[in-house]
Structure 1
Amino acid sequence: MLAGAALTGAAPAGAAPEGGRIPSGVTYRQFDVRAAKGTVHVHLLTVDLTDRHVRVDLLTPGAVAARARVSAMADAAGAVAGVNGDFFNINETQHPGVEATGASVGPAIAHGRVLKAAVPTAQRFGPSLPPGTATTDVLGVGVDGRARLDRLTLAGSVRTPAGKLTLRGLNQYALAQGSVGAYTAAWGSVSRRRATCGSDTDRAAGCSTDTYEVQVRHGRVVAVSATPGSGAIAPGTTVLLGREGGADRLRTLVKGDRVSVRERLVPSASRIPYRFAVGGYPVLRGGEPLPGLDDNVSAVRTAAGYAHGGRRLLLLALDGATAYRRGLTIAEVAAEMRELGAVDAFSLDGGGSTTMVARTEGAKTVSVLNHPTDSPERAVANGIGVFWRP
């Protein structure tokens, strides 16, 4: 079990001014933890989800295929605090000439609106997943105001004059082989070519040349193309992108055909609709660490967890200052979250992405509370935002 101790001495550069207060329902503290590879410094936000002034939602850069700094996303959305979120398509070194999308790995829901579904497991960016976890795992908050862990899988279909197709992607940077995915205005303007690269077993596999796109506007096909496109997608328009067998099915469509597209994310553990959900992977369930968690690789980490039946949310970010950069293993993260009282806990993106921000009462912008290892602050795919309303 990790031992936590209250920090004494100066707060890190950029931290909330001494005496400054975050609005009621949100508390912040920092402390040291003795880990296997040395002392690390922890920043912790505790959010009272029963406080009627407080809510939690997804921070986004304005599109799925985009990136922004946590501080910029928080300020733009009016959040009083936040941390970085899911792992994301950060680079494309294995596919020269292909643009990295910046899109996140897992499902995403913001303000109760579904933004995207999860990429195939083999196409994931980030460390290896613990046994029994998947890219569909999320941490979310339902319309009942309670946090929970769940899995959100895509259930979608495309009805065409020739029959019904199964939809296997929604605003994803990678599609399964032989499948059809849908892209909406939420995707952004980045090229959709990345979605046809890689395979179901190898993210580094080449890009498919057997592709087809169909644009559907107000229920009718308005354009077709043999290659993935780019540019903003107009509201009311859905772009269907197919690869291999999926491309063959889309080639049967011509301009003027009637087409309807339906999609939703189906939870595995709860029937309560989600107001917010972000991807990552579980490390603690029912107060017990998941079996098979890595206990060798230490890194700067971000994690989230909850207690009191999902009524209290814990957001943890490690400090990336040189003195503390040894970090924690995933097994140590699970142990520390349990020590802090979490019943279930979830790992978010770490390393250079780990960022925690907060805005004290009277301040117009948030301050970065930890020392991110990247300088300047890394642009990321999304984050968890804490909001306060009078």
Structure 2
Amino acid sequence: MLKSNKSVHIPEHIELLESPELGGEKNIRREESPNESSWSLQKEDTFQIAPGMTHSQQILQNEKFQQSIHILQVDPHNQYINPIVFSSKGKVEFLETVGNMQKELIEQGKNIVAGVNGDFFSWLGVPTGLQICNGEIFTSPSRIKVLLAIMANGQPLLKDRVKMNATVSFECGCSMAVEAINRTRYLKHTNHAFLYNRRFGSSTRTPEGVVEVVIQVPDGRIFPNKQVTGVVESIIQSADTPIEKGQLVLSVSGSAADWIQKQVRIGDKVNINVSLNQGLNEVRHVISGNSTLGFVLLRDGEIPREILDPEISLNRDRHPRTMIAIKQGSLYIVVVDGRQPGHSNGITLAEGAYYLQSIGMEAAINIDGGGSTTCYIRQPGDERPIIVNRPSDGFERAVGNGLFFETMAPISTLNSLVVKPDSPIRVMAGSKVQFEVKGQDRFFNAVPVRPSTLTWSVDGRIGYMEENHTFRAGSSKGSGELTVHSGAVSQQCSIQVVEEITRLEVNPPTIVVEPGGEIALDIRGFDRAGNKVWVSPDQLDWSIKGGIGSVSTMGILQASQDIKQGKITAKYKDLEVEIQVSVGKPPKTLATFDSLKGLTVYGERAVADSVTLTLAPRPEPVRFGTFSGKLTYDFTNISGASKAVIQFLDDNGKKGLEIEGEPYRFGLWVYGDSNDHWLRIGIADANGESRSLNFTEPGGLNWTGWKYVYADIAENTAFPITVRYLFITETNDANKNAGVLYFDHLRAEYVKIEEDLEGPVFSHPMPVPNQTIKDEHPMVSLTLKDDDSGIDPSSIQVWINGKMVEHTFDPTTGLVSAPITPASQMATYQVMIEAADMCGNPMVPKASWEFEWIPLRNLNEN
């Protein structure tokens, strides 16, 4: 691991040189300072999870970015470690969160201590690469980009370009190659052979146009290098064949299907053989990274040239990452948060590779990241792991599979005490800190500790213990030790009493509470060095505006019974923070579009079969979660009022979704297509009266990119209301066209909340759009403004003539500027600038304009 007095050098720019010696092939050259970024280690916390497993969290920082990194180190040869590759319900049929998959394993009696997300996946829940669990193949394509293999002796291996070979041999003496095992079949697979078993689900889920051979086998499971022998039970010219226990289904199309019907008969014997190259036939577990982002990051300690090429857009993208590495035979899982300025910005592929290289890794791969990046770790003294990173969506994303670790160590007697909060502790004079004490055995398993058995002692005249394991600091600064005993086992905690803090923070700064409800207010103090200082609520002065309720000396808000908005101010001496409070019902999400359950679609006066609704995964536009809802339509050459309609159904499949309470508006994230249509939502009130509410005005769907839109509900509406449909419409025959829209998180809003839902705005684009300029060294520039959360500097991208260029940003003035590459003659320049705020709201519309430039030297020559 990095030490606190060291830094890691990660180049932010790589220059490509044309090499005549290599026939114009691009060579990689690192550009030296000042474009080389030095990441300094700000903080590192490390603890042991279980025998042979440790967890570290690092905070890295440079002039531009901060990174929060979690590192899980695993000794693969420790007798107590059992790795588990797992997909929900033991099938490749469902998407599920890492946390819920972990619960499934715990319910099976496994003592899980850590877990992370795994492979990329399809919206149907199928991991895109090879998955092997306890030697059994759950799913596999014919080629796998990168993978982690854990061999029978526990040895981890990182491999790339692995091939899976599968053949089905028939009694007639002929064989057929199988392209994939338990993979989703699409209409484009017109001359293919796929093999299925119960790991794929209850049926093959295949489209029409195939022949499917049901093979009766003794077991039904598939293992590499172990022949399966069976008997043909049926041959069906049909799709979506049921898969029963002890069956395999061979699904074939094209010429292979014709051959099957002519040559194979019911009762024929069949042999199925599957093998993996690169010595992986004896592998115990495999989890892959099989996507466009599944890359080798390190091979023999060196960085592959393909991830250093800045001309490839994937290499420039900054995201959360989940990476797997190996050093000296140990396995490392490295999780980097991202898309959260102030917490962690995320890294590029090259930055990830350089970071891993700097901490001595010998081999590394990139697996699924982004909003999927999730890390669970068992904390000292806890029985179960908790999530330790911060997923970029704000919540866990459902994923295809995960990699988990179980400890097999027996539970023994109390060996050590774990005291929370962690030592050392800084506490404001007169404030108090409540301690929690847990126990561990010598294998780091949780051991219950009865509070009545604990005794406390305080050294150094720094304060005293009150009831409920609460320490009260003295009235003046000092330092000393607090010791807790449980029989012969004890633990010390260092305490420093301070008399000064430089700032207060509140988390979160905006809250919604139900009428009459309670919520604890979290106020934190910090000293000049940025260290947390405990400031107890009874040391703060509280004031309330807006009649929203009252705050107790313990910092508990007791909300009023009425729907109101207001604020709470917490003050300590000359420092204060404000909390925006809304008393009322929090927003209710009606459709996340992570699933199509409860949604159907149809068109009116639209091209036949053009109106569809599907789940769109990244890299298509997704605002939150795993998917967005992708609505396609085509109104071309159709006269009259055209519509593309998403119909809502209740839990019983009945049309219409009743909404609880009395919302004042609906809100929806929309990725527009700039086709100038009309977006509306249809409702029915309690009297059965139907009406349509506007998300936009007619022709108002005129933007490209994500935008939050809302539709107001009239105050005199009879509640409860029922949402019937969401639709776009076009009545102007002169604007009949085709397009694609993406939707995310439709919700009902009950009270006005101080939320940041709008991105930055721009002004003063220079050079002036559609003008001709005459200058020797012109600059492209504009001014960005965001009055809420502020501009996220890492989100700004400047494109000139389709190429991303370096830029500067002044956060004080909001000025973004970039130089223009000199031209030899008059030229037209097209500029596009993108940006987002600190809440991830994009600038809509993007800044886009063009101008002409005549170099001064051309004028002089004339």
Normalising TM by the smaller chain, what interval?
0.7 to 0.9
Aligned amino acid, residue 300 of structure 1: P
Query: In the alignment, does 2:316 pair up with 1:296?
Result: yes
Q: Decide which of 63, 79, 82 is 1:55's aligned counterpart.
A: 82
How far 1:67 sits from its partner (Å)?
A: 1.7
SS in structure 1 of the partner of residue 256 of structure 2 = helix
Aligned amino acid, residue 126 of structure 2: A
SS in structure 1 of the partner of residue 199 of structure 2 = helix
Distance change (3 Å), C-alpha of 1:102 and 1:148? same
How far 1:272 sits from its partner (Å)?
A: 6.7
Within 1, Cα distance between the matches of 2:63 and 2:127?
Answer: 31
How far 1:48 sits from its partner (Å)?
A: 1.4
Residue in structure 1 matched with residue 137 of structure 2 by the alignment: 114
How far 1:86 sits from its partner (Å)?
A: 0.5
Distance change (3 Å), C-alpha of 1:283 and 1:259? farther
Q: Decide which of 391, 398, 414 is 1:372's aligned counterpart.
A: 391
Matching of residues 324-335 of structure 1 within 5 Å: 324=343, 326-335=345-354
Aligned amino acid, residue 125 of structure 2: G
Aligned amino acid, residue 213 of structure 1: E
Distance change (3 Å), C-alpha of 1:253 and 1:103? farther
Query: In the alignment, does 2:279 pair up with 1:252?
Result: no
How far 1:340 sits from its partner (Å)?
A: 2.5
SS in structure 2 of the partner of residue 58 of structure 1 = strand
Within 2, Cα distance between the matches of 1:106 and 1:29?
Answer: 29
Distance change (3 Å), C-alpha of 1:332 and 1:320? closer
Within 2, Cα distance between the matches of 1:20 and 1:154?
Answer: 39
Distance change (3 Å), C-alpha of 1:190 and 1:5? farther
Aligned amino acid, residue 212 of structure 1: V
Query: In the alignment, does 2:80 pair up with 1:80?
Result: no
Distance change (3 Å), C-alpha of 1:287 and 1:135? same
Within 2, Cα distance between the matches of 1:257 and 1:375?
Answer: 55
How far 1:239 sits from its partner (Å)?
A: 0.7
- The answer to which of 110-119 and 218-227 deviates more is 218-227
Return 5+ residue gaps in structure 2 as ranges. Answer: 1-8, 11-38, 218-229, 308-313, 410-862
Matching of residues 198-217 of structure 1 within 5 Å: 210-217=209-216
How far 1:342 sits from its partner (Å)?
A: 1.4
Within 2, Cα distance between the matches of 1:173 and 1:374?
Answer: 27
Distance change (3 Å), C-alpha of 1:322 and 1:240? same
Residue in structure 1 matched with residue 201 of structure 2 by the alignment: 188
- The answer to which of 77-86 and 216-225 deviates more is 216-225
Within 2, Cα distance between the matches of 1:295 and 1:182?
Answer: 35
How far 1:326 sits from its partner (Å)?
A: 2.9
- The answer to which of 356-365 and 344-353 deviates more is 356-365
Aligned amino acid, residue 143 of structure 1: A
How far 1:73 sits from its partner (Å)?
A: 1.7
Asked if the contact 1:86–1:105 (Cα under 8 Å) also holds between the matched residues in 2, the reply is yes
Query: In the alignment, does 2:367 pair up with 1:358?
Result: no
Matching of residues 242-321 of structure 1 within 5 Å: 242-252=252-262, 256-268=266-278, 270=279, 273-280=282-289, 281=294, 282-293=296-307, 294-308=314-328, 311-320=329-338
Residues 305-357 of structure 1: CA deviation (Å, up to 9, x unaligned): 0110xx21111112247234531111111111222221100111011110000
Greater Rg by CA: 2
Within 1, Cα distance between the matches of 2:362 and 2:150?
Answer: 15
Distance change (3 Å), C-alpha of 1:66 and 1:287? same
Aligned amino acid, residue 188 of structure 1: G
How far 1:190 sits from its partner (Å)?
A: 6.1
Residues 96-146 of structure 1: CA deviation (Å, up to 9, x unaligned): xxxxx2101111111122222126xxxxxxxxxxxxxx6343111111211
Distance change (3 Å), C-alpha of 1:319 and 1:138? same
Aligned amino acid, residue 112 of structure 1: G
Asked if the contact 2:138–2:199 (Cα under 8 Å) also holds between the matched residues in 1, the reply is yes
Aligned amino acid, residue 257 of structure 1: G
How far 1:359 sits from its partner (Å)?
A: 2.0
**TM-score, normalised via structure 1 length:** 0.79
Residue in structure 2 matched with residue 389 of structure 1 by the alignment: 408
- The answer to which of 272-281 and 339-348 deviates more is 272-281
Residue in structure 2 matched with residue 66 of structure 1 by the alignment: 94
Within 2, Cα distance between the matches of 1:179 and 1:259?
Answer: 21
**TM-score, normalised via structure 2 length:** 0.37
Distance change (3 Å), C-alpha of 1:225 and 1:329? same
Distance change (3 Å), C-alpha of 1:330 and 1:265? farther
Asked if the contact 1:157–1:262 (Cα under 8 Å) also holds between the matched residues in 2, the reply is yes
- The answer to which of 292-301 and 182-191 deviates more is 182-191
Distance change (3 Å), C-alpha of 1:316 and 1:271? closer
Distance change (3 Å), C-alpha of 1:105 and 1:43? same
SS in structure 2 of the partner of residue 104 of structure 1 = coil
Within 1, Cα distance between the matches of 2:63 and 2:93?
Answer: 37
Displacement over 6 Å in runs of 4+: none
Query: In the alignment, does 2:237 pair up with 1:226?
Result: yes
How far 1:256 sits from its partner (Å)?
A: 2.1
Distance change (3 Å), C-alpha of 1:4 and 1:30? farther
Distance change (3 Å), C-alpha of 1:191 and 1:156? closer
Query: In the alignment, does 2:373 pair up with 1:340?
Result: no
Within 2, Cα distance between the matches of 1:318 and 1:109?
Answer: 26
Distance change (3 Å), C-alpha of 1:367 and 1:271? closer
Asked if the contact 2:115–2:402 (Cα under 8 Å) also holds between the matched residues in 1, the reply is yes
How far 1:174 sits from its partner (Å)?
A: 4.5
Asked if the contact 2:131–2:288 (Cα under 8 Å) also holds between the matched residues in 1, the reply is yes
Residues 252-273 of structure 1: CA deviation (Å, up to 9, x unaligned): 36662314241323132x3672
Residue in structure 2 matched with residue 45 of structure 1 by the alignment: 72
Residue in structure 1 matched with residue 759 of structure 2 by the alignment: none
Within 1, Cα distance between the matches of 2:248 and 2:116?
Answer: 31
How far 1:76 sits from its partner (Å)?
A: 2.4
Distance change (3 Å), C-alpha of 1:20 and 1:292? closer
Residues 13-59 of structure 1: CA deviation (Å, up to 9, x unaligned): xxxxxx98521211111112347962121111111113211132312
RMSD: 2.6
Q: Decide which of 169, 182, 188 is 1:171's aligned counterpart.
A: 182
Asked if the contact 2:167–2:178 (Cα under 8 Å) also holds between the matched residues in 1, the reply is yes
Within 1, Cα distance between the matches of 2:281 and 2:234?
Answer: 38
Within 1, Cα distance between the matches of 2:271 and 2:386?
Answer: 42
Q: Decide which of 136, 140, 148 is 1:139's aligned counterpart.
A: 148
Distance change (3 Å), C-alpha of 1:185 and 1:337? same
SS in structure 1 of the partner of residue 93 of structure 2 = coil
Asked if the contact 1:35–1:332 (Cα under 8 Å) also holds between the matched residues in 2, the reply is no
Within 1, Cα distance between the matches of 2:386 and 2:380?
Answer: 12
How far 1:302 sits from its partner (Å)?
A: 0.6
Asked if the contact 1:211–1:243 (Cα under 8 Å) also holds between the matched residues in 2, the reply is yes
Asked if the contact 1:114–1:264 (Cα under 8 Å) also holds between the matched residues in 2, the reply is no
How far 1:64 sits from its partner (Å)?
A: 1.5
Residue in structure 2 matched with residue 125 of structure 1 by the alignment: none
Distance change (3 Å), C-alpha of 1:283 and 1:242? same
Q: Which structure is richer in relative contact order (CA contacts within 8 A, separation 6 or more)?
A: 1
